Structure 1
Amino acid sequence: MYGIARYPSCVMRGGYHPMRNKRWTAITRRSYVGRMSNAAVLDRIASVTLSSVTLPLPTGISDAKVFTGRQRPMTEVAFLFAEITTESGHEGVGFGYAKRAGGPAQFAHAREVAPDLLGEDPSDIGRLWTKLVWAGASVGRSGAATQALAAIDVALWDLKAKRAGLPLAKLLGAHRDSVRCYDTSGGFLHESVEQVKDNATATLASGIGGIKVKVGQPDWREDLRRVAAVREHLGDAVPLMVDANQQWDRPTAMRMGRALEEFGLVWIEEPLDAYDAEGHADLTRALTTAVASGEMLTSVGEHHELIRHRAVDILQPDAPRIGGITQFLKLATLAEHANLGLAPHYAMEIHVHLAAAYPAEPWVEHFDWLYPLFNERLECVDGRMHLSARPGLGITLSDRAREWTVEKSTVGG
């Protein structure tokens, strides 16, 4: 039955029934299948423009990695933007980023593999991701190699949603139209605890629901003093998180985790090295407070180690860091199967859509750093970040982003 139904009725007429007549030849079948395949291609990629954009930060940013001497204050963020145009005139935009180092490497790799997209059907996103991975297979399937593909992958998803006339979350299948959100940009260690409290007050007044503050200083007692002061300032009802940025060893993390229990935190983030799945698992079993991690990992496989060890309560993947939306969706399925919470890291313009499509109620991280790059802003009301009705990601690059472009490359067009 199914074999008959897939052939056109015109082939059935005049005694040419494919299941009974040998005059239905292999050549005829190939010709028919070829015509149907060509007919299904609605559009093709005509050009890809890549831009390396350096975003300056108003002040040097310091977390525990600076206070422990492992990094210098961050003064800028390098972004890789991909703009894809099709023969029919549709456009998609995506981005990835690198902090402190790696931006030029991402741009160089993306520029090398971008020509392989020309003439391709932009709807075949999974196949194109694999094609680009194999184009650069000698440099691996994680880190800068796949981070360079993230901007392209995100642009393809943006394009697909725009062609459908839908916000990306709706294309994926949204579970909600808004997600819980918390702010990180006001809780860094380079600011005094009084300034952090003032920042938190302004953040809550702007409609954002939770506050995250940085910990992990060489003097752990100072961490406790800061957290206690912020909790007292906020009261018990406001969601509060802390982030150690991988700066504790196992004994310190256990001691600090137990000391922090009294503050009713939503989670303790990156208490250990990001790749220490066993250490995270020990903490997760020992503490009442949820343990969160994942932002520094650069592939689905690396995250799977956290899942396999039951090492975290809340997974924090970063779509640009793991290769884009295609990879994020694979990881989200694994996280859902393991009954994990989800709180994507950074890049809220992308992650609000992906979080809205996750079955369990997630969190999205709010950063105001990226505001100058886009003409649009996400709306936060009553502690929740709302999806816009704009198709795709709902963003367009600002004139300022164009001004901050340090290198640009276009293929096709």
Structure 2
Amino acid sequence: MKIVDLKTRCVAIPLNAQLRHNTGVHPGYFLRTILELVTDEGIIGLGEVGGGDQRGALQKLKPRIIGLDPFHLETIKLKVLRSIYYLSNARLYAAIEMACLDIQGKMLNRPLSDLLGGSVRQEMPMIGYLFWRYDRPGGGDDASAEDLADYCVELHETLGVNAMKLKAGVEKPSEEARVLELCRKRLGDEFGLRIDPNGVWSVPTAVQIGRRLEDLNLEYFEDPSWGLQGNAAVRSQVRIPVATNMYPARFDDLAPAIRMGAVDIVLTDIHYWEGPKGVKDLAAICNTFNLGIAMHSGAEFGIELAAMLHTASTIPTMTFAGDAHYHYLTDDIIEGGLMQYKNGCIKVPSGAGLGVTLDEDKMKFYEKYYEEKGDYYARFHQDPRRPEWYPIVGGI
């Protein structure tokens, strides 16, 4: 079996609100690049990657993988990821690996999870991800901690989720701390609480807010301050486990992070950690050093969510509910539409490979939608309500 073609398409799907974060706003839609790897036996593997329009970047890699066997992932990784350091891109490789594993599963008629050691669970609990929103369903913007606490209760009641994470670093730190205090009061002591300012807070601010939140028994404090040094400084002064999706977010930084005592929990991400097999490598290292493991969300659509669910289902120590932006999407590009939450969980897809299939009508519709809306990553770090605003790391 050989790879004979690589096809790429960009799609965008509307959200039910604009989502604010500390470097800008997702302006009412997410966009993803969809990859199709075609083999000489007619099997097509699906991949997905975010970060804006990646079609050109992936097409540059096409000559490097045409003619290769999709089972030979080590060779593909060497040719795609390890070639030249300034062209190395784990996210692009991860999309290719995802598609190769989809091909392998379809060839063998086994789910992707079987290629990673087999599932130890058939569904994954998910969180209710809280963002400060513009243009909420029904109108208006989130303006206070009460608004976000109300939304958290709504997600608990409608999706059945039993944990939340606040995307912080947007409003005043004291007001964001109040969101978690209200959620604890309204949802009880067993409801999981997390906060993630994405490293924008200064160490003094992160320590002050962390100490204020200690009695709430948070599951973790994610990237409280900038860099390995910032996380380590906060961790040494606050009695809340420190988690990260930023520092470290690649194997090069993992050993320094462990030596520095910068982190307690690492959030796995298929794209940052070099594909599903890379995530398994990460899990083995975390187990060696007794680090916790959770699952990061990168605003994925159904292809990548399927890969995330398959991968997470094979990691026994991944006991935290997974992150997901998914409940903000109004539709999906896979047949059957959006995956469904049941009792706060999403089932691991069944069937060969990823277990999902593209809906070509929706692909065409959302390709056109993308062409109308454009790549907001190309004009990133904007806030439509504050045109002169820009982020300042450590400015709070």
TM-score of the superposition, structure 2-length normalised?
Answer: 0.79
Q: What SS is found at the alignment partner of 1:155?
A: helix
d(CA) in 2 for partners of 1:152 and 1:203? 34
User: Residue 114 in 1 paired to residue 114 in 2?
Assistant: no
Match of 1:365 in 2: 323
Task: List gaps (5 residues or longer) in structure 1.
Answer: 1-42, 408-413
Most deviating of 397-406 and 345-354: 397-406
CA drift of 1:161 comes to 1.9
Distance 1:279 1:269 in 2: 12
1:403 aligns with 2:361: no
1:298 CA displacement:
5.2
Supply the distance in 2 between the matched residues of 1:169 and 1:72 (Cα, whole angstroms).
Answer: 34
> Tell me, what secondary structure is at the counterpart of 2:63?
helix
Report if aligned partners of 1:211, 1:241 keep a CA contact under 8 Å in 2: yes
The 8 Å contact of residues 83 and 93 in structure 1, kept in 2 or not, is answered as yes
Structure 2 residue aligned with 1:164: 108
CA positional deviation for 1:198: 3.6
Deviation at 1:222, TM superposition (A): 1.4
Residue 229 (structure 1) aligned with residue 182 (structure 2): yes
Contact 1:295–1:344 under 8 Å retained in 2: no
2:90 is matched with which residue?
146
For the 8 Å contact 1:81–1:94, the answer to whether it is kept is yes
- How many angstroms does 1:189 deviate by? 5.4
Change (3 A) 1:155 1:110: same
- Read off the aligned partner of 1:169 and give its amino acid letter: S
The Cα offsets for residues 232-252 of structure 1, whole Å up to 9 and x where unpaired, read as 121222112112121211111
**TM-aligned CA deviation for residue 261 of structure 1:** 0.9
Are 2:12 and 1:54 equivalent residues in the alignment? Answer: yes
Q: 1:242 to 1:155 in 2, by over 3 A?
A: same
User: How far apart, in 1, do the equivalents of 2:31 and 2:273 lie?
Assistant: 17
Query: Cα gap change, 1:71/1:303 in structure 2, threshold over 3 Å: closer, same or farther?
Result: farther
Say which of 24, 29, 52 aligns to 1:76: 29
- Write the distance in 2 (CA, Å) between the matches of 1:341 and 1:88: 41
The normalised TM-score by structure 1 is 0.76
Give the direction of change, closer, same or farther, for the CA distance of 1:77–1:187 in structure 2 (3 Å limit). closer
User: 1:119-198 residue pairs with structure 2 within 5 A?
Assistant: 119-134=67-82, 137=84, 139-141=86-88, 145-173=89-117, 174-184=119-129, 186-188=130-132, 190=134, 191-192=142-143, 193-198=145-150
Secondary structure of 2:206 counterpart: helix
Aligned counterpart in structure 2 of residue 375 of structure 1, from 321, 329, 335: 335
Matched AA of 2:250: S
SS of aligned partner of 1:246:
coil
Structure 2 unaligned runs (5+)?
A: 135-141, 372-396
Q: Deviations over 1:107-131 (max 9, x none)?
A: 2121011132222111011211211
Letter in 1 for 2:47: G
CA distance in 1, matches of 2:353, 2:247: 26
Distance 2:61 2:14 in 1: 28
- The superposition leaves residues 336-369 of structure 1 with CA deviations (integer Å, 9 ceiling, x where unpaired) of 2122111121143322222222231333112224
Name the structure, 1 or 2, with higher relative contact order (CA <8 Å, separation 6+).
2
Partners of 2:270 and 2:279 within 8 A in 1? yes
SS of the residue corresponding to residue 176 of structure 1 reads coil
Q: Kindly state the Cα deviation for residue 208 of structure 1 after the two structures are TM-superposed.
A: 2.5
Q: Distance in 2 between matches of 1:261 and 1:132?
A: 44
Which structure dedicates a bigger proportion of its chain to helix?
Answer: 1
